Amino acid sequence: MALETKLELSPKGLAIITLAGELDASNAADFQTQITQAASANCKRLVLIMQDLEYMASAGLRMLAFTKQKMGASVDIYMVGTKPTVQETIEAVGFQYSVIMLETYDAAQIEQF
């Protein structure tokens, strides 16, 4: 399955990347491009909508590490709707300490800054 990604930038400084399909070495660069764009836009918060992401290979996990470094410590990163299989791997690695995991998109929490 291919990866579909979509980047939305709001004037308030919110960047939302929606991921669908499978994230692996063959398409991690697409994800990286959008992270770079979000960082260039000086967004204040980055939200990854993961509910339609079925699988994440090591390249995808590595890209999460890249995301944290690229955005910097001052930018909160939210991961929304991560599927259990993906979340288990994220938690085993320990990436959940670097991001905020939400089951659903909570506008009150995400958009208040």
Q: Which residues bind another protein (CB under 8 A)?
A: 25, 28, 57-59, 61-62, 65-66, 68-69, 73, 88-89, 91-95, 97-98
Buried b (16+ CB within 10 A) or exposed e, 72-96: eeebebbbbbbeeebbebbeeeebe
C-beta of 49: minimal distance to another protein in Å?
Answer: 22
**11 vs 84, beta carbon nearer another protein:** 84
Helical spans, DSSP H, in the chain? 28-40, 58-71, 84-93, 107-110
Token pair of 27, please?
Answer: 């398409």
C-beta of 61: minimal distance to another protein in Å?
Answer: 6
C-beta of 91: minimal distance to another protein in Å?
Answer: 7
